Homo-oligomer: A and B are copies of this chain.
């Protein structure tokens, strides 16, 4: 079971920012955490992950430094910039508003 459902467009950036907000992580670990925390519901292919990270970095929402991982490899650790933090807050609120609205619609009964 637990079919991998594709993420709606735009959602990936939000999730990435959220994970990064919890503390500096490198790309590979971001994908792993999203998968674990969501119990396999959210799965991020690398062909989506890295372009998204670069996108966020170009927009000035993330910044990165090369550091050594626990396993002794070099990896690019991302952190949220100030703008990124503001963006995360805004998008989280927006997401809540939207999903609530959609939830209402999906629960409509024919009783017009």
Residues of A within 8 A of B (CB): 3, 5-11, 14-15, 18-19, 21-23, 34, 37-39, 41-42, 92, 94-95, 97-99, 101-106, 108, 110, 112
| In contact, B94 and A5 (Cβ under 8 angstroms) | yes
Q: For residue A94, which residues in chain B have a CB less than 8 angstroms away from its CB?
A: 3, 5
Which residues of chain B are near A11, meaning CB under 8 Å?
8, 102
Q: Give Cα A42–Cα B19 distance, bound, in whole angstroms.
A: 27
Task: State the majority secondary structure of interface residues on A.
Answer: helix
Whether A101 touches B10, Cβ cut-off 8 Å, given contacts A23-B112, A106-B95, is no
Given that A106-B18, A112-B22, A112-B23 are known contacts, is A5 also in contact with B98, CB under 8 Å in the complex?
yes
Q: Please, could you name 24 A-B residue pairs with CB atoms under 8 Å apart, sorted by A?
A: A5-B94, A5-B97, A5-B98, A7-B98, A8-B9, A8-B11, A8-B98, A11-B102, A14-B102, A15-B105, A18-B105, A22-B110, A23-B110, A34-B105, A37-B105, A38-B101, A38-B104, A38-B105, A41-B98, A42-B101, A42-B102, A92-B106, A95-B106, A99-B103
